[in-house]
């Protein structure tokens, strides 16, 4: 009456081994692979294209700035570009402010 029943403990779970730990980390590994192909890789590709575009800027190229101004490149230095936005009107912008190079002949009014 005063003594409670004593039951035997069940045996502990067996060690899951390599397959158990692999299945535990599989979702994490899969998520990293998906993030790499959907986010990291395209961003690296875009940065590479922008760098090659900035290195290839030359006098006479028609460009679009980050502010949306269209113009023709008048002078290129290491970090700055002089862009002619109208006849006799030039602005100085940093190279990284150039977002796109337009096809030749896009700007006919300059």
User: Which long-range contacts does 95-100 make (Cβ < 8 Å, 24+ apart)?
Assistant: 95/54, 95/57, 96/54, 97/65, 97/66, 97/67, 98/53, 98/54, 98/57, 98/63, 98/64, 98/65, 98/66, 99/64, 99/65, 99/66, 100/53, 100/63, 100/64
Please indicate, yes or no, if residue 42 is contained in any of the structural domains.
yes
- C-alpha triplet 58, 64, 66: angle, nearest 5°: 115
Q: Are residues 69 and 87 in the same domain?
A: yes
* Per-residue pLDDT at 79: 92
| Position 54 pLDDT exceeds 80 | yes
* Domain housing 38: 17-56
Give per-residue pLDDT as tens, 25-39. 888 999 999 999 999
What is the domain count for the chain? 2
* Per-residue pLDDT at 15: 58
pLDDT band at 102 (very low <50, low <70, confident <90, very high): very high
CATH code at 97?
A: 2.30.30
Please indicate, yes or no, if residue 9 is contained in any of the structural domains.
no
- Partners of 72 in the β-ladder: 62, 84
Please indicate, yes or no, if residue 35 is contained in any of the structural domains.
yes
């Amino acid at each position: 009456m005063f003594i409670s029943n004593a039951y035997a403990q069940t045996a502990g779970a067996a060690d899951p081994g390599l397959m158990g730990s692999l299945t535990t980390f599989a979702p994490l590994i899969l998520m990293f692979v998906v993030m790499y192909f959907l986010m990291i890789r395209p961003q690296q590709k875009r940065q590479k294209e922008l760098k090659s575009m900035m290195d290839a800027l030359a006098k006479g190229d028609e460009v679009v700035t980050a502010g949306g101004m269209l113009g023709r490149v008048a002078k290129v230095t290491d970090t700055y570009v002089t862009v002619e936005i109208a006849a006799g009107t030039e602005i100085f912008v940093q190279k990284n402010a150039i977002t796109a190079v337009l096809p030749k002949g896009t700007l006919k009014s300059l």
